[in-house]
Amino acid sequence: MKKTLDEKVFGLICYIVMTIVALLCLVPFLLVVISSLTDEQEIIKRGFSLFPHKLSLAAYKFALKDPLIIIRAYGVTISVTVLGTLVALLAVSMTSYVLQRKDFAWRNKFSFYIYFTTLFNGGLVPYYIFMIRYLHMKNNLLALILPLMLNAFNIILMRSYLSSIPTALIEAARIDGAGDFQIYWKIILPLAKPALATIGLFIALGYWNDWYSCMLFIDNDKLFTLQYYLYRMVNGAEAMRTISTTAGGKIGSQTALPSEALKMALTVIVTGPILLLYPFVQRYFVSGLTVGAVKQ
Amino acid sequence: MLNGSTQKLTSNSQVAEIKSGKFMKELKKNKVLLIMLMPAVIYFFLFCYIPMGGVILAFKNYNYSAGIFGSPFVGISNFKYFFLSGKAFEVTKNTVLYNVAFIIVNTTLQVGMAILISEVSKKTFKKFAQSAMFLPYFISWVVVSVIAYNLLNAGNGAINSILSSIGISKINFYDKPGAWPFILVFASAWKSIGYGTVIYLAAITGIDTEIYEAAKIDGANIFQRIFKITIPCLKPTVVILTLLAIGGIFRGDFQMFYQLIGNDGVLYHATDVIDTFTFRSLIQSGEVGMSAAAGLYQSVFCFITIMVTNYLVKRYDSEQSLF
């Protein structure tokens, strides 16, 4: 069909507005990358800019002189993310499977028990004190895994997905002599793969970007997650000085430390690898969101 | 299930006997299912229900050695302290007003962008724009705070270097409370635009294309089609999502406020929300009782707003209500 004038005008508006919005979303990332490559003296004199006059790799050299801290933070974050996501998916799917079994008489009671946690919560203080004083979570790796593991929303989402699996399938398996757990493990789990993938991605993103639990419960720097490590480095001049001493610089010789460019370089080092994954997982996020929106 | 009339005929002890028999039967029949539920039941008990019981701390003077349950009761003095400090009103006002601004601005932008994307015919451009818009959703608030620092800091922020290059004097944003409502609304919009757009786009894709074709044949131009078809068709989704967002109006986005503002006391009166206030009172000043009181105050308001909005959702579209 030929485009009429109003459609042409509107099409132009679409392209212009969308280009602007897309640039607004992308340029800040570009700015951080370019800033990390800018000469420190230039940053001090002229400020951060998209078009620097003098480039320098000094910040990266500084940041990677003693890469052990960063590698360790990567290690913590990767293990927490992988372990947490796997266990969470198992727990979410198992719980959702039981709650959608229509022949399970108490499913509404248990659903309410889980659902109620989204309506009311005790707030930060009792949670914090209970975790520290009674569960001894201070400097415990479990403090990074457990808080993000289960929530009612993921269970509701998974349950509505599982309830689309025909009951006849479960009946047939039961007649063939399969037990409740076997039905879950051999039939439901394989069928739930698409939902597991999308919910898993959201859980994994939550773990990867988490700094809050680390701030609350961890003060041993060997257990810092990437995001919290970055937060500490960017916000503490003291932390900056630590890196300059471990990196062989002299205390007090602040001129040698490209601190502004270093903040940006650390951000790139911490975020870069995961952003490379972004193009591959982005469409799963989009499809996952859409499924959730339609299902809910 | 026993129906009402038989229940009346049997005596109480018989009812109890039948009930417990039924209970044991269910227990036996669903043994495996119940075992499978246990991890979640224990999890929510530990991490949600025990802290819920811990709200009694709001009425206690906490000391570490006595613990949550051993500490002495002090009545409502924690609440008095919280309200008389003048902080209660300020942080509540900030929390609610910021959330109202976020809801209005974000919904408008997301619906607008979804409509624009749906009208673009070039697939590659569509994909590029959508990927770009979704990128901010992908990063942590820590990285957002680095970006904000890069743009806004007084000495060498990118915005200030542009300002000074065109001869305008530099602005220290971290010293100007008045600028922050705009910065925070922008940051919230920036981070959530991709996410929300996807949801509204899904709703637009669900609209029957025949309606558009019929309208076109009747001579409706594209603007009329958008305002007379697309927007009315999106209304149910917008209403539901807005109501759900209003349910959380007393909950501040801690990660965002804490990362962007940090411990910059100059900005507190313009930017402090209940969540950041509670956190600071607990972690930095160690005012456990008052902080617990603020938390309970917030939880109660959250509970009430969720119940009210869910009632409204139910009346609007019973399929969409949460319970």
Q: Do B129 and A18 touch (CB under 8 A)?
A: yes
Residues facing A38 on adjacent strands? A55
Q: pLDDT tier at B1 (50, 70, 90 boundaries)? A: very low
The CA distance from B259 to B308, in Å, is: 31
pLDDT of residue B322: 64
A226 in Cβ contact with A73 (< 8 Å): yes
ipTM: 0.88
Closest by alpha carbon to A173, among A196, A189, A193, A161?
A: A189
Query: What confidence tier does B321 reach under pLDDT thresholds 50, 70, 90?
Result: low
Q: What is the C-alpha to C-alpha distance for residues B280 and B258, in angstroms, rounded to an integer?
A: 10
Per-residue pLDDT at A139 exceeds 90? yes
Query: What is the pLDDT at residue B7?
Result: 46
The reported pLDDT for the residue numbered A291 is 56
> CB contacts < 8 Å between A and B, how many?
280
Residue A266: its pLDDT value, please? 92
| Chain B residues in contact with A37 (beta carbon < 8 A) | none
- What's the pLDDT band for A252 if we cut at 50, 70, 90? very low
Interface of A with B in 11-30 (CB under 8 A): 11, 13-15, 17-19, 21-26, 28-29
Partner residue opposite A211 with nearest CB, options B55, B138, B142: B142
Q: CA of A293, closest CA in chain B: separation in Å?
A: 6
Q: In chain B, what residues touch A234 (CB-CB under 8 Å)? A: 142, 145-146, 149
Q: What is the pLDDT of residues A65-80, one digit of tens each?
A: 888 889 999 999 999 9
Query: Band of the pLDDT at A111, cuts 50, 70, 90?
Result: very high
pLDDT for residue A5: 85
Question: pLDDT by residue (tens digit) across A144-159?
Answer: 999 999 999 899 889 9
> Which residue in A227, A263, A268, A281 sits closest to A80, CA to CA?
A227
Query: Per-residue pLDDT for A295 more than 60?
Result: no
Task: Assess whether pLDDT exceeds 70 at residue A294.
Answer: no
**Mutate which of A125, A128, A154 to test chain B, going by most B C-beta atoms within 10 A?**
A125
Which of B2, B31, B37 to mutate against chain A (most A CBs within 10 Å)? B37
Contacts of B223 in chain A (CB under 8 A): 6, 10
Predicted confidence band of residue A82 (pLDDT cuts 50, 70, 90): very high
CA distance B94 to B96: 6
In sequence order, what are the beta bridge partners of B73?
B60
B320 compared with B130, residue with greater pLDDT:
B130
Q: How confident is the model at residue A237 (pLDDT cuts 50, 70, 90)?
A: low
Residues of A in contact with B301 (CB under 8 A): none
Put simply, whether A33 touches B (Cβ < 8 Å) is no
Q: Which residues of B touch A230 (CB under 8 A)?
A: 142-143, 146
SS3 call for B142:
helix
User: Is a pLDDT exceeding 90 seen at residue A285?
Assistant: no
pLDDT of A18-34, one tens digit each?
999 999 999 999 999 99
**What digits encode the pLDDT tens for the residues A170-215?**
889 989 998 999 999 999 999 988 889 888 988 999 999 999 999 9
More confident residue, A248 or B12: B12
Contact B51 A127 (CB under 8 A): yes
Residues 6+ apart with CB under 8 A from A175: none
**Is residue A272 less than 8 Å (CB to CB) from chain B?**
no
- Quote the CA–CA distance of B292 and B55 in Å, as a whole number: 7
For residue B259, list chain A residues with Cβ-Cβ distance below 8 A: 231
Kindly state the average pLDDT of the residues B62-67.
82
Contact at CB, B53 and A126, closer than 8 angstroms: yes
pLDDT exceeds 50 at position B223: yes
The HSE-up count of residue B38 (CA atoms within 13 Å, CB side) is: 7
Average pLDDT of every residue of chain B: 87
Helices (H) and strands (E) in chain A, counts: 16, 0
pLDDT surpassing 60 at residue A244: no
Indicate yes or no: CB of A18 within 8 angstroms of CB of B36: no
Residue A130 with chain B: CB contacts under 8 Å: 50-51, 54, 68
* Residue A285 contacts B where some CB pair is shorter than 8 Å: yes
Higher pLDDT, A251 or A116: A116
Q: What percent of chain A has pLDDT over 90?
A: 47
Separation of alpha carbons A243 and B252, rounded Å: 34
Residue A70 · residue A60 · CB < 8 Å: no
Across the range A261-271, mean pLDDT stands at 91
> Which residue in the set A4, A10, A21 is minimally distant from B119, CB to CB?
A10
Query: Rounded distance, CA A68 to CA A66, Å?
Result: 6
The sign of the CA dihedral A224, A230, A231, A234 is positive
pLDDT tens digits, B266-314: 888 899 999 999 999 998 888 888 999 999 999 999 999 989 988 888 8
pLDDT digits (tens, 9 = 90+) for B29-47: 888 999 999 999 999 999 9
Q: How far apart are CA B257 and CA B279, in angstroms?
A: 11
Q: With a CB-CB cutoff of 8 Å, which residues 83-112 of chain B face chain A?
A: none
pLDDT score of A64:
87
Instruction: Give the pLDDT confidence score for residue B17 in this predicted structure.
Output: 67
Task: Tell me, yes or no, if A246 comes closer than 8 A to chain B by beta carbon.
Answer: no
Are the beta carbons of A274 and A208 closer than 8 angstroms? yes
Q: What is the pLDDT of residue B4?
A: 45
In this prediction, residue B2 carries a pLDDT of 41
* A58 three-state secondary structure: helix
Cβ-based contacts of B36 with chain A (< 8 Å): 94-95, 97-98, 180-181, 184
pLDDT digits (tens, 9 = 90+) for B136-146: 998 999 999 99
pLDDT the model gives residue B185: 96
B152-180 pLDDT, tens digit each: 988 888 998 888 888 888 888 888 889 99
Q: Distance of alpha carbon B33 from its chain centroid, rounded?
A: 33
CB of B123 less than 8 A from some CB of A: no
pLDDT band for position A242 (cuts 50, 70, 90): low
Task: Indicate the pLDDT class of residue A240, thresholds 50, 70 and 90.
Answer: low
N residues, chain A? 296
Q: Given pLDDT bands bounded at 50, 70 and 90, which one contains residue A251?
A: very low
Compare all CA atoms of chain A with the CA of B41 and give the residue at the minimum distance.
A114
